Chain A
Amino acid sequence: MSHVAASLAGDNPGPTAEHVKVPLLAQLLADETGDRRRVWADLGSAQSGLVEQLTGGRNRLIVADLPGALGDDDAQWHLPDQVLEEAFWFEPVDYFLCWDLLNYMSLEQLGELSRRVARRTRAESRVHALIQYSGTSMSETPGRYDLEADGLLRVARVDARSIGTPRYSPKALEKAMPDLRVERTMLLNNGMQEFMFGIRR
């Protein structure tokens, strides 16, 4: 049993990490040739792996650090353009990376987020997210994610305490986020489901 699985099962050994394959994100990164300027918005905390992956290409990475805003007890922690003022969003975002943050939002918050995200994108933009689908509990606060050189994602629990998972289904997510449509999903080996959303126009 992996450390994360052990945590979810209740024998919580404290903050842990494991590596998972994220095929949809890996494909997205592989498809980028670096010829065109791309704007990425990472709603999670700053991570060295993603910066390394994007260095060398014509990339701009916006880091909203929503988990940091959650720590500030801000009622609008889930809205990237509240956490980062308008000036940072002066050009459309090609890719939003949500990691596990959607699991920590209510249906109402998901709706608000989808409206804000759609407003900052272009028609061909994509939104990537990881949703808990099999476990019944998850870290009380969002995890830390780091892309590694081999394309694996290092997923670290940052909180030994657990809360229940909403286990949002693709249908429930589409209903809650009417501005997004589910394009592809993949079940991952750590109890999460990887989502790639397109933008409804």
Chain B
Amino acid sequence: MFNKRESNESESSGRSNSDQQSTASHQSPTPARNTGGTGTAATIGPSISIDGHLKGEEDLVVEGRIKGTVELKSNTLTVGSQGTLDAEVFAHTIFVEGTVNGDLYASERISIRKSARIRGNILAPRISLEDGAKFRGSIDMDADSEPFRKAFGGKSSSASSGGGKPTSSPSADDSGKGKPGQSSPPSSGGSSNPPAQQPGKTGTSAA
């Protein structure tokens, strides 16, 4: 649950860690809810705002605000209808009902619901999008693409013919070099930083 994860969170930028933990610890965690992932999930409630690097090993529902990086490499992240992410996200499966300004990487699947507002890149082998969703950015379904391999490992694009399933282990290679348009990663201070591509973060609010 949320409190249990505090020790893993808030490794960087913006407000001080003490501020963030103080904010979190004075909020009653919203009751867990089932996301359709591995079972019940921790929830970040609408009044909670986190600025930094959030990492965990359980499913998470976000109804509040997160700025920074979210890494749930083996789990499901749900951005609820009230949730707002200005973040780069790495997860096994991602459901979006709310607002995202940033890049989403999933080793398995990303599902964009009709209430979603997204600006950024989304990368996953399987992607579904409901009509009515507002999206501006790019959708990469090529599991052999360079950004995807950097995020989750996997085989070389030059040696494969597509359709390869990535593993769910984030790569240590976070240089993001060699591609125009790739900027530096957020200064999360974490040791397993995700790849650097995050053009969606340079734009304005979701379309």
Contacts and interface: CB of A to CB of B under 8 A. Distances in A.
Nearest to B140: A60
A65 B136 CA distance: 6
A88 B131 contact: no
Contacts of A133: none
B131 A146 contact: yes
Nearest to A90: B181
Interface in A76-119: 83-90
Interface stretch (A4-12, A46-54, A165-173, A189-197): A46-54
A68 interface: yes
Contacts of A56: 141, 163
Interface residues of A, number: 32
B165 interface: no
Interface of A: 34-35, 37, 45-48, 51-52, 54-65, 68-69, 83-90, 146
A88 B130 contact: no
Interface string B128-168: 11110111111111101100000000000100011100000
Nearest to A37: B142
B164 to A, nearest CB: 10
Contact of B142 (A59, A65, A69): A59
B135 A65 contact: yes
Contact of A90 (B126, B137, B182): B182
4 smallest CB-CB distances across A and B, nearest first, come from A87-B199, A87-B181, A46-B135, A58-B162
